[in-house]
Amino acid sequence: MVERVEYDEFGLFHENAEEFGLPYDGPPAVRRESVEVEPGRRMSALVWGEAPPELVLVHGGAQNAHTWDTVAMALGRPLVAVDLPGHGHSDAASHEGAGAFDTRRLAADVATALRVLAPEPRGVVGMSLGGLTTIALTDVAPELVRKAVLVDVTPGVDRERARHITDFVNGPATFPSFDEILARTIEYNPTRSVSSLRRGILHNAVQLEDGSWVWRHARHRHETEGGPDRRAAPGGDNAPMFTELWDVLSAITVPLMLVRGMLPQSVVGDDDEAELVRRLPSARIEHVQNAGHSVQGDAPLELARLIEDFVFAG
């Protein structure tokens, strides 16, 4: 008999609160909504709160909207956390393949969803691929971006710096058991607690009928390619380069903040930071000493504090 692992998408928030010392008097007001971005294809998102959303959160490659749960709880503001196409509960993009990580196309999809779910946000926060998409969004739909926050990414993302991430993402397509998918996740995420990683897997993977597990983003890999999709995250062997986004970033006129993790797992180097400042001297730079690439997972309370100060107090 196959042992099934129980999963309630909205039943784990008490763990986030307990791990990070947040007050908790019951589940927050969160619902899942979706928007048709083109005929037959929908983008999904988590909508926090009942008031008009004040903030938009865009996750990185191979992640999903739940990566922001602790940050959202710490902020306590109405917001929208999207699932990018092919991630989480969103349908795969119609441009899967060579253009699967075309940031302009991703930005166009995000813009379509935001015009329905969050038409007047005070800020957009993007991590990794979500940060690159946020840069593109300032050009594709500038009316939606009043302030921009990039979390541990610049258009200069380096393949070697990101190698540890792409090695993890481009690993096995399926895992025979939950213990095996958890063991691999622990191996590649030394800065995170086991409870946090377990929670992340439940949000980001699906148990199949035979009891095995597959990452939600990996469900859209093409069977004919004979292996993992090497475009699964910025920096993969066949990943497109994002240097064209430097010119888009240079033209940004709204306030922008880069939040950079300072542990070795970060993908932003001193040269990337210097180039960003050279092109956008007004940019605010923040270093988070106890975080790697996934600042929202390593130091969610500090990231929430920085977002609150930059987007709402600044």
Domain that holds residue 22: 13-159+241-313
Better-predicted residue by pLDDT, 161 or 227: 161
**Residue in the block written with tokens 């784990």:** 12
From the candidates 59, 90, 91, 128, give the one annotated as an active-site residue.
Answer: 128
Active site residue 179: no
**Residue 91 near residue 119 (C-beta atoms within 8 A):** no
> Which of 30-34, 147-151, 191-195, 294-298 has the weakest average pLDDT?
191-195
Q: List the catalytic residue out of 69, 83, 109, 152.
A: 152
In a domain, 181, yes or no: no
Question: Do 129 and 149 form a contact (C-beta atoms < 8 A)?
Answer: no
Q: Which of 220, 214, 245, 244 is nearest to 232 (CA)?
A: 220
In a domain, 235, yes or no: no
How many independent structural domains does the chain possess?
1
With respect to residue 47, please indicate whether it lies within any of the assigned structural domains.
yes
* Residue 217 annotated among the catalytic residues of the structure: no
User: What's 140's domain CATH number?
Assistant: 3.40.50.1820
Which stretch of DSSP H or E encloses residue 195?
A: helix 194-204
229 vs 68, which has greater pLDDT?
Answer: 68
Burial of 4 (0-12, 13-18, 19+ CB in 10 A): exposed
195 is catalytic: no
pLDDT at residue number 222: 44
Mean pLDDT calculated for residue range 290-310: 98
Cα separation of 173 and 180, whole Å? 12
Given 66, 87, 217, 293, the catalytic residue: 293
The mean pLDDT of 113-120, rounded to a whole number, is 98
Mean pLDDT of all residues in 58-71: 97
Separation of alpha carbons 39 and 121, rounded Å: 26
Let me know if residue 178 belongs to a domain: no
Classify residue 151: in a domain, yes or no: yes
Per-residue pLDDT at 2: 84
Residue 65, in any domain of the structure: yes
152 located within any domain: yes
User: Is the per-residue pLDDT at 1 higher than 60?
Assistant: yes
